[in-house]
Amino acid sequence: MSSQTNTNPLALPITLALSKGRIFDETLPLLAAAGIEVSENPETSRKLIIGTSNPMVRLIIVRASDVPTYVEYGAADLGIAGKDVLIEHASDHPGGLYQPIDLNIARCKLCVAVRKGFDYSSAVKQGARLRVATKYVNAAREHFAAKGVYVDLIKLYGSMELAPLVGLADAIVDLVSTGNTLKANDLVAVEDIVEISSRLIVNRASLKTRHAELQPLLDAFEQASRSHA
Ligand code: ATP
Ligand code: PRP
Ligand code: MG
């Protein structure tokens, strides 16, 4: 990177938006592969803007579902977000983001799950109207519409697995990785909707105006992500 780094002291650093937790943890090795060390740990620091060993690259720490918004409006040049988050964002803001690289990190599946013993396929065959609780209302609406299943969607912001246990919903649409959370709550996955991994996203204006600075970083991410494939 260094040979192409902008050395103008007035130039703004390239800003990468990330959420803390699994995406931050899994991005560290990708940054390291691009020669970038992060100066602080967002789990222990309260800082939301974090510098790196490259003075022309900084990180901002935001909620996972806010990453596309920061990138779309240009407050960040780059971001890393799960495909689940990007599907929801794209339904409301079509065409706003360029998604050049599947980083192959934070892999899981978006699934439909029900309580053990709930006869999902009979309910669907009989044309029952299902109550479905989820954070992913756009993905869920599209999935059930494509199957011709009538659903009442109930928007939640987390702990979806609880909803069928307390009678709030017949089914949930949520992420599944090891399956441990479903198992611990006596739920079973009955349909896979889409495979999820995290993507690098790029602000469309930055891609044009800062192309020379961004390209080496994109190349390094691309190369490092292949080792996760
Ligand atoms: P918040 O805590 O702000 O509500 P969140 O729960 O979406 O956000 P994370 O749990 O860090 O935040 O998830 C970030 C991304 O990681 C998700 O958008 C998804 O793409 C992926 N992800 C979520 N859960 C898992 C999991 N169990 N295994 C692998 N990847 C996951
Ligand atoms: C995510 C997701 C599921 C769980 C699935 O929750 O929302 O609940 O992981 O993973 P598993 O199949 O390996 O059990 P997360 O750990 O992010 O907790 P959260 O409720 O704080 O988002
Ligand atoms: Mg989570």
Ligand 2 pocket: which of 181, 192, 193 to mutate (most atoms within 8 A of CB): 181
For 159-209, the pLDDT digits (tens) are 999 999 999 999 999 999 999 999 999 999 999 999 999 999 999 999 999
Contacts 24+ apart (CB under 8 A), 149-155: 149/124
Which ligand 1 atom is the nearest neighbour of the CA of 20?
Answer: 11
Query: pTM for this structure?
Result: 0.94
Residue with tokens 């199957």: 147
Cα atoms in the Cβ-side hemisphere of radius 13 Å centred on 122: 3
**CB of residue 25 inside a 6 A radius of ligand 1:** no
Distance 229 CA to ligand 3 centre (A): 22
Output the pLDDT for position 51: 97
Whether residue 39 has its Cβ less than 6 Å from ligand 1: no
Whole-number Å distance, alpha carbon 228 to ligand 3 midpoint, is 21
Residue nearest to atom 16 of ligand 2 (CA): 181
Indicate which atom in ligand 2 lies nearest the CA of residue 179.
Answer: 12
Residue nearest to ligand 2 atom 1, measured at CA? 175
64 lines ligand 1 (CB under 6 A): yes
Residue 20 Cα to ligand 1 midpoint, Å, equals 10
Instruction: Look at the block and give the residue holding tokens 């996955």.
Output: 189
- Other C-beta atoms closer than 10 Å to the C-beta of 156 total 18
Residue 77 to residue 90: CA distance in whole angstroms: 18
6 has pLDDT over 80: no
Atom number of ligand 1 nearest to Cα 82: 20
Quick: pLDDT tens for 29-86: 999 999 999 999 999 999 999 999 999 999 999 999 999 999 999 999 999 999 999 9
What ipTM was predicted for this assembly?
A: 0.98
pLDDT score recorded for residue 103? 97
Pocket of ligand 2 (CB under 6 A): 158-159, 161, 174-181
Count Cβ atoms below 10 Å from residue 179 Cβ, excluding itself: 14
